[in-house]
A and B are shown apart, each in its own frame.
Chain A
């Protein structure tokens, strides 16, 4: 075994023996996210680099400690991208942290084949479990139904099942062209419009409503964009401004995200009506992701998300001691506990981070 990887294995085995909690942390760009955790730092950054990348296979395999920015630069040089457009939240974000957080950017709710979140593009992963074993799930091919799809469960697992070692991600060609349109619309009208567009063959690859303006990105062949523009109307935004807008949205650098009020993320069915909550809102993903700046009681916000068929996460700030994610029902919680026990019997990895008490 490679010496660098060997050291990580040793650290995990030692921690399991001593039952010492480990807090997996690389660049620290997502320290703010999830429940408060504890433990000795386990830093995978020495294990970095791209293991395999053949653009015509549409797959890249990278070590967990690889900087996300480096990976994206390598893909862009070949005219390809991570189609879930993950937020970095800092220059030191790593591939492992990106997968463990499971977050996606504006392109998550694209029409057509770029549709999907991080797990939809995760083809395989190697995991260092609590016994210090290296387990390889999935693979590097698009279609693979051999065994349970454990790799995809690691997306968004916040490291509670083990340390991600390498991941294989499906990549896609960069769009041939893009155009961004803006419409002056109120919240309800914007949601209605987005719903209608979703059911039509339109190349929408991003949407954001806030402060009375709906911004929509289209991606695809030149001819398709021209045809779609004709149908949609709206005011086209200059390419440089548009590119800055989507980048700032993805990284939460828009002016809207500044300030001290707690930031909530509500994931709801896209067609859900406007939220009956007090606070400023930014709506993405065709209505499916609603950012809310609000000082309202967490219980009230969770109740509203549940009423609409979704869930609410205290994304940044606020009082995090009470748990930032919507609680699981007993049947699902029991399965979570048994999975945790199976992969991390000593309970050393990122205690509480995803589910309090787990």
Chain B
């Protein structure tokens, strides 16, 4: 079960007693007795995962749209499912009224991005300007919605500023893509995705500080680690899938996407090096790079209709699962068990190969459904990995305080 599913089942299951209050913003806050089982950490991670996915899917849809690619409908459908998921998360906190208002505003802003994309595709400057104006109004409206919902914890202007960055990033990447500046489009995509994590953290903090029932804290070293790993692993899955799709269909942006994948690999390696040292980080990077190359080999086999090449790549990925699982198990002194890692990797391999095969077969809806599973799966992986790292680090960190004074200035 995904984190979100767990969160929602925990929060929404059963007939819980509710205590409704209406705040100045007109949004009813639903304090659900069962909310007590939802931790602040899960709220933050869920919002990060869903908002991060929103940015990535919106970008995919805008690019498919401006380039007239066949998978546009499927990308837009996946974006719609993400909106539904986000709406359910908002419902958990603010009830039906808040969820409906959120859904309306959110759906509208996606529509404005689509308007802009149409204007860009048609070379219609007036349409682009109108879409930007509507996005400006949306920033104010959504800012007012959140200010009311969070009882002023998130001021309207601050939200509007955060949204300005989101708007600039999404418009910037689709313009770059339309201009065939694929490198800029890819790097802006990384920024847009990362931006959603800061947004989600701020939103989670505001919700937890104004609503009862969330156990624990939004911030802390362990949750920060889980969040960072979720961000990097989620990005890995999404960008790897984009690269495989671009690869199998021979698109010109493959190299730029693969470049973004390399940047993600560097960031992940650095994070792993900070746990297992430089040598451990290098060993990780070699294996990680291998598994990406095996996915690319599978993609090439698929594009060429070469079954043998696909089978060879799958065999290598099988060997990688064993090697990588054993590496993490050994490096962490058993805190990250090999059997758990291997099981997770099998799902990752199945999801990534399925989505590119479905994409190649023209089953775009199936491809985006598999991609959704693959993206969300990475957040479960991040949860397990960060827990294993925290357990492992218990025996590795320096002990106690530091003796850095001799008392010469003490009174």
Partners in one complex: no
Which residues does B use to contact A, with CB under 8 Å?
none
A contact set with B: CB distance below 8 Å: none
